[in-house]
Amino acid sequence: MNVLRPTLLTLACLLALPSHADDLPSLGDASSAIVSPQQEHQLGRAWLSLLRGNVSQLSDPQLKDYVESSVYKLAETSQLQDRRLEFILINSPDLNAFAAPGGIVGVNGGLFLNAQTEGEYASVLAHELAHLSQRHFARGVEAQQRMQLPMMAALLAGIVVAAAGAGDAGIAAIAGTQAAAIQEQRRFSRQNEQEADRIGILNLEKAGYDPRNMPTMFERLMRQYRFDAKPPEFLLTHPVTESRIADTRNRAEQAPTGGTEDSARYQLMRARVQLFYEGTPGLAAKRFRALLDENPKLDAARYGLALAQIKGGQLNEARENLKPLLAKAPNDITYNLTQIDLDITNNRLADAQQRVDRMRQLYPGNYPLRQVAADLLLKQNKPAEAEKSLEALVKNRPDDPDVWYDLAEARGLSGNTIGLHQARAEFFALTGDFDQALQQLDYAKRRAGNNFQLASRIDARQRELLEQQRMVKEMMR
């Protein structure tokens, strides 16, 4: 696996550099001549389907919503010009994050475990977005005498799969392109790392964060993993050295003080991830109780304890721990979503519905809230209403396989068999199983019978999926 060390962390090629950037190398159109932005976008979505089909993912809507909103906040002040981003949360406690060609942003659960504050978390992602905006991978490809698109696509597809942990498939894909010999050349150069640090620090400041979070994160990671025989992938591809820490510290200290270092919401999301990777709810509850004993005012620990108690079936205890949190912040969406979850678990569906209705007046577009509203309708044996709710949600999140999966379930329960097969087709396409997707559309078309308009729409979608499948197969040749 040594040949695969670069992984997705070393792949970055999104769009040209803005003309107003200071003292950065001139890219001209050379990188775009190799792979156009639209090709990057299409290939990126195909790579993402491969990745989804080969990794375990975190499907928690609240975590997904947090990652998406926090990265978009950074993207707004970054030098990215094409901000059509797609996200994947990988179920791994290892420290890793990446931003891949075509605007694909991936975050391991382990990033939350290692980044102790929101500022530290943001510093990692600001660095990755800087690799994208400076098109470091595309510039490396240009230096390699303009590698042809099919070979690059196949190479990157193999690295995507390998980075996800499916080593055999990734190695086979890379070997098939005869590209193993150039893998070490894909590692970011020291110059590119310095540039990404510098641009990332500027982005952190513009986004309202204290850029000192970046050297602080680097310093702690160096101490934490200094003597590890096998440090996390992020540190293998982004080595943290004394000189790098000093350079980022010097640059960050030039910024004015007062930027954001942490937020309550980040600590709540971090508690959710910490619970997920604990061995049992009991162990998690013990750890959160210990934190509360040290600091009774630590809301994130009380929140984590309530989550652990819900997961462990201690529903009355969870209710008591949520009371002071809701009393302090009665409209907080995170606390209210947890209370809704508790009421559903306790079969207090009327109470859950009442709270959902109140929260939807306050947060009408909130994705996790819309998701739990649909789940509650299913619990109340209202599949037709749940279907309608999820159809509205999928219009906002057409590339989210989790929503398509839930929509398929709702359609099946409501008796919409054609819609069931169509939703399953979208789920399978987004997770890289095009054969299954096409088969589901065949099932839908057979049931469409003499409905010519519906059959025509299904035919058109089949043609689109066949083209996507062809693109993916080109990558894997």
Residues assigned a catalytic role:
128, 197
Whether residue 131 is annotated as binding a ligand: the answer is: yes
Q: What Cα–Cα distance (Å) separates residue 216 from each residue in 109, 121, 124, 236, 272?
A: 20, 11, 11, 19, 24
Whether residue 127 is annotated as binding a ligand: the answer is: yes
> What residues contact residue 45 under an 8 Å CB cut-off, 6+ apart?
86, 102, 399, 468
Q: Which long-range contacts (CB under 8 A, 24 or more apart) does 447-450 make?
A: 447/417, 447/418, 447/421, 448/418
Residue 104 has phi, psi (to 5 degrees) of -90, 125
Tell me the longest C-alpha to C-alpha distance in the chain.
Answer: 71
The C-alpha atoms of residue 445 and residue 276 are separated, in whole angstroms, by: 41
Whether residue 317 is annotated as binding a ligand: the answer is: no
Q: Which long-range contacts (CB under 8 A, 24 or more apart) does 22-28 make?
A: 24/134, 24/195, 25/139, 27/135, 27/139
Other Cβ atoms less than 10 A from the Cβ of 230: the count is: 8
Q: What Cα–Cα distance (Å) separates residue 358 from each residue in 61, 233, 322, 391?
A: 19, 44, 18, 22
Which residues does the annotation place in the binding site? 127, 131, 193
